[in-house]
Structure 1
Amino acid sequence: MIRYQNLDQTKGFSQLKELAIPSVVEHFTKENLESQSIRAGADLTFNYAGKGINQALLSALQALADEQQVIDKYELLLSGEMMNTGEKRKVLHHLTRAQQAGEVLFHNENLRHFYQQQQKRFSDFANKVHTGEILGSTGKKITTVVQVGIGGSDLGPRALYLALQNLYLSKLEAKFISNVDPDDAAIIIDSCDLERTLFILVSKSGTTQETLANRNFVLEAAAKQQILNFIPNKHMVCVTSQTSPLAKDDSYLVSFFIDDFIGGRYSSTSAVGGVVLSLAFGSDVFDELLEGAADADAHARHRDIAQNAALMDALIGLYERNIKGYPSTAILPYSQALSRFPAHLQQLDMESNGKSVNRDAQLISYSTGPTIFGEPGTNGQHSFYQLLHQGTDIIPLQFIGFSRSQCAVDYDFEGSTSQTKLNANLAAQISAFVLGKSEPSNLNKNFAGGRPASLLYAPQLSARTLGALLAHYENKVMFQGFLWNLNSFDQEGVQLGKVLANEILSNKADATIMHLFGLLEG
């Protein structure tokens, strides 16, 4: 029988609080560097030797995971159980890549068929655009695709596109418009040849204010250009639900469908990410990403935390949040290709587990999701690492690194290549954060160390590795939600500002604050 209980009601949490906290410095040994590694899916590995985890703590974390039945709850989710208690919905983002895994994870074959069907539809569409079978309305071949969406319709797909553009030959250049700030749309549209551009309108409801405003921006810009025989809507593709206003408008070139069982921040492996990535790189590249995600999903089913990287990562994160009291986590990819990945993880984690009530909407009395931030190394080293090294708050660190670069272009300088320098900086930072440096005669140069750090690494950032990396974090967030007894799949905190903004715009609410801040035009 599945039990849902708050973290502070568990025996496992009481046991964790009674344990002595191991020294991060003392446990950062060669033996642990070799033994505290877990395959995370595809060719991705998770190493937690810099986290200060001993055998007693591992046993307690395993006991907590078992008591909270996190794997049983994962299996329930995979079987199509209603897990989004706030919206009374199933949670099916894993299903978008299940067919890549070589085994049937789900019992609901109708929904399985729906996602397979949509993937085939947008794969075929992308191929026709690439071959010139589908042209723009004036007969010119499409060379650019622009995704118009916000939140999960932008952050994940944009991060994945940027992560892959160095390694794979682009069939179409992809660009993104997300913000309702008119400068965002204006700059992108001015950079496009509209006759050779496809716009992807992404909105599950078909009513997202920012997306519709930016669609109108495109229409107005096209009208201003007065292009002969140009039909704007025939340059627009919709990714939406089957019942939305966008889907019901047959003036658009084509619509691909998503449903309410996949939240925006979990939608990158659905049509939300699949359409733009298939158009940009080809459907075979998107298939490789799905294969990597499916492999990570399969690894996440292990009950033994020593074989389950996502669950181990989740448990260590809970330990750092609820036992050590650390309020933040930094995501530090040593890969410029992952420049927007921390922003995606920020939404994934903070929108999912930034909750103060449990899955039954009852107040809880313990800390939940941390603040997430990050930037690529080595840029971050010259920015916020000062605080990470010597600030008054200890911030757990999650490094991401790769043995090889993507572009295969590199040069020696002062005895080593740039990639070697990059990875030397990565290794040095982990060592410096964990071990520190003692300078008792000059505290300005003293580094206390003991700053916990983990590492996710692979030979190269490929589509398959990226899929595993994406799924690792999705599953980590899901597991932490189970441990904290949260509903990680709704986002009521996003809605209030939208409602108030619409009331101000429709003159149903007092706009005094806009007047005071000088925010009204004119």
Structure 2
Amino acid sequence: MIEWKNLDTLHSFQKLQALPERVSLKEVLAGEAGGRRVKEYCVPMAGGLQFSYAARPVNRPILKALSALAEEAQLAEKFRELYNGAMINTGEKRLVLHHLTRGQLGDPVMADGVDKREFYTGQQARIDAFAEKVHNGKITNAAGEPFTTVCQIGIGGSDLGPRAVYIALENWARANDTLKMEAKFISNVDPDDAAGVLAATDVAHTLFILVSKSGTTLETLTNEAFVKEALCREGLDPSNHMIAVTSETSPLAGNEGYLDAFFMDDYIGGRYSSTSAVGGAVLSLAFGPEVFHQFLEGAAAGDRLAAKADMMKNPAMLDALIGVYERNILGYQATAVLPYSQALSRFPAHLQQADMESNGKSVNRFGEPVNYPTGPVLFGEPGTNGQHSFYQLLHQGKNIVPLQFVGFRQNQAGVDVDIQGSTSQQKLNANVAAQIVAFACGKEDQDLNKQFDGERPSSIIIGEQLDPTALGALLSHFENKIMFQGFCWNLNSFDQEGVQLGKVLAKRVLAHDTEGALAAYSQLLSI
């Protein structure tokens, strides 16, 4: 029987709190023993990746206690409930089915009178066929000319995930001759965003994708109007240049203003929608359906690992529980995601939404206040740029911030340059190796300005090359890590009430239904 309990009521968590030992990273990474630890504290991931946690503040007794916590919190059982179609999203009374978009982990899930796995694969098959017709010239603009660019119009999860994935694979696709169409994105309701993208776009040869589950998202519909106006100025019929990704019940479905519409449903949260039609349409058009399916296969392989009950064979669960230890026992308030890959430059931005919108909660899944910290503040930038930005605080600031590095042995482009005895890729990876040890071990110096205390924990996910399969596995790892942490904290990680209040007040401002401070700020901004 599944029981949903607050973290601080679990006996295993209380035992974890009572453990007297705290791990010194300086000590465990010193000398030959440190070298052995780096090899031992490493587990395989999907997509040819590895999760190395040697520089995290855990040892065998702590890992044993975390394993007991995983068992008492019923993490594996709760994941099984989720992928078998239980109503996990208690706030909105919905199923949580994003795993079904990339594979069937358990029993068939029936909802709305249909098999949801078949529904999702059916929509992707329709997208595959549409993309093939665009690529082979069967679908063209009114002049019979091919579309060369695809532009997604959406916000939040309709933008951050698909944009991060496109950027992550763009160079790989160029190197492997699979870049079919350039992709662009419009998200911000700030008119400078749409204007800037459109000014650099040949709209006559661009296919626009409007993404809105409800078909009523204010920012997205505003940007759609911006795009339609630009098309009309060029003497083009917008209906020949637009498709929609929406729900079957939205006003966009069956609308003659679009070439076609592809469907999602309420069981796919925006921040988890990159493997649904939300990501499938733009990424299949950009790279071809085969590449998108490789991405799905990597995510599915990651999900299969996440379904394992043994924490030591389940890297997402292991990563999640170490994070809970750092957050709730050691009191660390933030996490930095630091990819040493320029291709992942927007991946931290995607994870900011995925993590903080999911677990940035102060009440449990029953609406009751919790008495312990929940989701951390998450931020990041690619290395080595970040080293010349905020690493000063990470190394010598008063706050200890756990770090999650991501790195690859090979670059995507297949080109490099050798300067002063090493290549650019070797220099990049030398930096990440050095940073891990520098953060953990520090440096003694009589000049306190040059003193590095160390004891800054980190992990690294390492792979051979960032390709579609590895990227899918990486996405799955973080999505499932977030889920497991939400289970530990007894949260509903799948609604986002925190974004609603501002929307309500913004509508009041636009309707000039304001008073007091809201009226004053409206006047200040000339609304």
TM class, shorter-chain normalised? over 0.9
Q: 1:329 aligns to what SS in structure 2?
A: strand
Tell me the equivalent position of 1:51. 56
Native 8 Å contact 1:331 1:374 kept in 2: yes
Task: Return closer, same or farther for 1:266/1:423 CA change in 2, 3 Å cut-off.
Answer: same
1:121-520 alignment, distance < 5 Å? 121-168=126-173, 169-225=178-234, 227=235, 230-439=236-445, 441-510=446-515, 511-517=518-524, 519-520=525-526
Native 8 Å contact 1:26 1:52 kept in 2: no
Residue by residue over 1:455-478, the C-alpha shift from the partner in whole angstroms, topping out at 9 and shown as x without a partner, is: 001000000000000000000000
Question: What CA distance in whole angstroms lies between the structure 2 residues aligned with 1:271 and 1:303?
Answer: 30
How many Å apart are 1:223 and its aligned residue?
Answer: 2.4
How many Å apart are 1:145 and its aligned residue?
Answer: 0.4
Return 250-259 or 468-477, whichever deviates more. Answer: 250-259
The aligned length equals: 513
Tell me the equivalent position of 1:9. 9
Native 8 Å contact 2:246 2:253 kept in 1: yes
Native 8 Å contact 1:78 1:106 kept in 2: no
Residue by residue over 1:12-31, the C-alpha shift from the partner in whole angstroms, topping out at 9 and shown as x without a partner, is: 11011111222122222112
How many Å apart are 1:138 and its aligned residue?
Answer: 2.8
Native 8 Å contact 1:138 1:195 kept in 2: no
Amino acid at match of 1:205: S
Native 8 Å contact 2:245 2:261 kept in 1: yes
Question: What CA distance in whole angstroms lies between the structure 1 residues aligned with 2:122 and 2:68?
Answer: 41
Task: Return closer, same or farther for 1:515/1:97 CA change in 2, 3 Å cut-off.
Answer: closer
Question: What CA distance in whole angstroms lies between the structure 2 residues aligned with 1:348 and 1:105?
Answer: 26
How many Å apart are 1:163 and its aligned residue?
Answer: 0.2
Question: What CA distance in whole angstroms lies between the structure 2 residues aligned with 1:149 and 1:173?
Answer: 17
Native 8 Å contact 1:27 1:54 kept in 2: no
Tell me the equivalent position of 1:22. 23
1:20-99 alignment, distance < 5 Å? 20-28=21-29, 29-98=34-103
Residue by residue over 1:426-460, the C-alpha shift from the partner in whole angstroms, topping out at 9 and shown as x without a partner, is: 10000100011111x10100100000010001000
Question: What CA distance in whole angstroms lies between the structure 2 residues aligned with 1:446 and 1:397?
Answer: 20
Native 8 Å contact 2:364 2:491 kept in 1: yes
Q: 2:268 aligns to what SS in structure 1?
A: coil
Question: What CA distance in whole angstroms lies between the structure 1 residues aligned with 2:487 and 2:108?
Answer: 20
Native 8 Å contact 1:98 1:104 kept in 2: no
Residue by residue over 1:70-93, the C-alpha shift from the partner in whole angstroms, topping out at 9 and shown as x without a partner, is: 000000001011100000000000
Question: What CA distance in whole angstroms lies between the structure 2 residues aligned with 1:514 and 1:132?
Answer: 51
How many Å apart are 1:515 and its aligned residue?
Answer: 4.1
Question: What CA distance in whole angstroms lies between the structure 1 residues aligned with 2:233 and 2:281?
Answer: 28
Native 8 Å contact 1:25 1:52 kept in 2: no
Question: What CA distance in whole angstroms lies between the structure 2 residues aligned with 1:106 and 1:412?
Answer: 54
Question: What CA distance in whole angstroms lies between the structure 1 residues aligned with 2:202 and 2:264?
Answer: 29
Question: What CA distance in whole angstroms lies between the structure 1 residues aligned with 2:335 and 2:107?
Answer: 32
Percentage of identical aligned residues: 58
How many Å apart are 1:301 and its aligned residue?
Answer: 1.3
Gaps of 5+ in 2: none
Native 8 Å contact 2:2 2:77 kept in 1: yes
Question: What CA distance in whole angstroms lies between the structure 2 residues aligned with 1:402 and 1:105?
Answer: 36
Q: CA RMSD in A?
A: 1.1
**TM-score, normalised via structure 2 length:** 0.96
Question: What CA distance in whole angstroms lies between the structure 1 residues aligned with 2:44 and 2:108?
Answer: 24
Question: What CA distance in whole angstroms lies between the structure 2 residues aligned with 1:484 and 1:210?
Answer: 33
Task: Return closer, same or farther for 1:106/1:312 CA change in 2, 3 Å cut-off.
Answer: farther
**TM-score, normalised via structure 1 length:** 0.97
- Please identify runs of 4+ aligned residues in structure 1 that moved more than 6 A: none
Gaps of 5+ in 1: none
Task: Return closer, same or farther for 1:515/1:77 CA change in 2, 3 Å cut-off.
Answer: closer
Question: What CA distance in whole angstroms lies between the structure 2 residues aligned with 1:82 and 1:250?
Answer: 35
Question: What CA distance in whole angstroms lies between the structure 2 residues aligned with 1:357 and 1:217?
Answer: 39
Question: What CA distance in whole angstroms lies between the structure 2 residues aligned with 1:155 and 1:96?
Answer: 18
Question: What CA distance in whole angstroms lies between the structure 2 residues aligned with 1:172 and 1:63?
Answer: 49
Question: What CA distance in whole angstroms lies between the structure 2 residues aligned with 1:321 and 1:105?
Answer: 34
Question: What CA distance in whole angstroms lies between the structure 1 residues aligned with 2:149 and 2:107?
Answer: 36
Native 8 Å contact 2:98 2:275 kept in 1: yes
Return 297-306 or 454-463, whichever deviates more. Answer: 297-306
How many Å apart are 1:52 and its aligned residue?
Answer: 2.2
How many Å apart are 1:222 and its aligned residue?
Answer: 2.0
Amino acid at match of 1:10: L
Native 8 Å contact 2:238 2:257 kept in 1: no
Native 8 Å contact 2:141 2:204 kept in 1: yes
Question: What CA distance in whole angstroms lies between the structure 1 residues aligned with 2:514 and 2:2?
Answer: 45
Q: 1:26 aligns to what SS in structure 2?
A: helix
How many Å apart are 1:516 and its aligned residue?
Answer: 4.7
Q: 2:459 aligns to what SS in structure 1?
A: strand
Residue by residue over 1:137-178, the C-alpha shift from the partner in whole angstroms, topping out at 9 and shown as x without a partner, is: 232210000000000000000000000000113100000000
Q: 1:456 aligns to what SS in structure 2?
A: strand
Question: What CA distance in whole angstroms lies between the structure 2 residues aligned with 1:39 and 1:300?
Answer: 12
Question: What CA distance in whole angstroms lies between the structure 2 residues aligned with 1:400 and 1:316?
Answer: 17
